[in-house]
Chain A
Amino acid sequence: MSVDPSEFYTPKVIDAQLTGMIKTVGENKYSARLKVPAGILTAGLLESLARLSRAYGRGEVYLTARLGVEIPGISGDRFPEISRALADAGVSLAGCGPRMRTTVACKGTVCPHGNLDTFQLAWEIERRFNDGAVLPHKFKVAVAGCASTCSKPQLNDVGLVGVAEPAVRAEACTGCSVCVEACHLDAVRIVDGKAVIDRAGCVACGDCAKACPLAAMDTPRTGLHLFAGGRWGRERQVGIRIAEFLAGEEALDAVGRIKAWYRDNGARKERLGQTVLRAGVGRFQAAVLGGLPREKWTRITPEAEAGFRVMR
């Protein structure tokens, strides 16, 4: 099947059909990168992938490092055809180039450690913000359900982490010390027969409260910690926490504001972390958290700021 180039290479069609088509080396072929938010594939989609990879590729799919799927071995002249077939299967091509990439999430929705419906939040981020618009450079968002941060939110441009801060109901505590065993950071001790939490050592993973056999622990403060400016690669930068215990809507608002700020302030080929370093963490925080109650702004300590640096 041949393509009329004048029809194909117009900006509109390029956006619709070429974004997500990755040239593969050693052959005149492309790999179709598909959008798989939070890494969830339905049985129907898996059947479609099997069918499409046989029809347009070589009967293989690749799993990407960000939970995505690519169908390799596609000829350039079949782009319009496979684009239509993908749309019929209910899947769209994912971002490549200087754009927002598909949002990654851990399995926090179903994981025993999860404090958050990570699938739902990742889908909502995709729905609201992943519009394919051109940005200064790539822009990655990751969602994690707990402080274990399996999806590496601190190494994405924006990271959200579900947190649940524990509190002991002393009258119900028998001092059995299961919570002490559940804590990974030795932040729970038994004092005079009751559990006591060391606030400075606690990262609000909530595992102690989940393990308590007697419901003698609650998690009165829950929400999302927000990290920004992380990236990984030739240069590395660990994202800095700028806000904490956000409600879902507050977190979604912040993601939108950060993306807009990056679009307006980022230099070409510069990741968010570099833009934030140029502008200053304080100015960035003020620009993207405006309207949010001050107690939800993370106090940026000199140590935190010193740790937010480019590593090679």
Chain B
Amino acid sequence: MSAESAAILDITGEVCPMTLVRVRMALDEVGPGGVLRILMAAGEPVASIPRTLKDEGHELLAVERRGDAFSVTVRKRP
């Protein structure tokens, strides 16, 4: 699956801990090696979620600011 056809998850309306819970549920849906694009609010979500994904062995493909939010594209670990 390419980054262009990635599944999209919007957690800009969530707060901790549901931000990470939603990410985990969405990652369960994509297969190993699959790509997920996550829209998250600035502040605490973007300070912690990309780091957690990296720590758990997933590959961060892109992190971009989109106004007050961030788009984080991640490839699930194989």
Name A residues whose Cβ lies closer than 8 Å to a Cβ of B. 112, 174, 176-178, 181-182, 207, 210-211, 213-214
Contacts and interface: CB of A to CB of B under 8 A. Distances in A.
B43 A213 contact: no
A181 B60 contact: no
Contacts of A214: 60, 63
B42 A211 contact: no
B11 to A, nearest CB: 15
A112 B50 CA distance: 13
Contacts of B44: 181
Contacts of B50: 178, 211, 213
Contacts of A178: 46-47, 50, 63, 70
A181 B42 contact: yes
B76 to A, nearest CB: 16
B54 A213 contact: yes
Contacts of B47: 178, 181-182, 207, 211
B39 to A, nearest CB: 14
Closest 4 CB pairs of A and B: A182-B47, A213-B50, A176-B63, A213-B60
A276 B34 CA distance: 61
A112 B46 CA distance: 14
A178 B60 CA distance: 13
Q: How large is the interface on B (under 10, 10 to 19, 20 to 34, 35 or more residues)?
A: 10 to 19
B65 interface: yes
A182 B64 CA distance: 15
Nearest to A211: B47
A166 B16 CA distance: 26
Contacts of A174: 63
A207 B43 CA distance: 12
B51 interface: yes
Contacts of B72: 213
B48 A211 contact: yes
Interface string B28-68: 00000000000000111011101100100000100111000
Contacts of B51: 112, 210-211, 213
9 contacts: A112-B48, A177-B65, A178-B47, A181-B43, A207-B47, A210-B51, A211-B48, A211-B50, A214-B60
Contacts of A210: 51
Nearest to A190: B65
A112 B60 CA distance: 19
A170 to B, nearest CB: 17
A162 B61 CA distance: 32
A16 to B, nearest CB: 47
Contacts of B64: 176
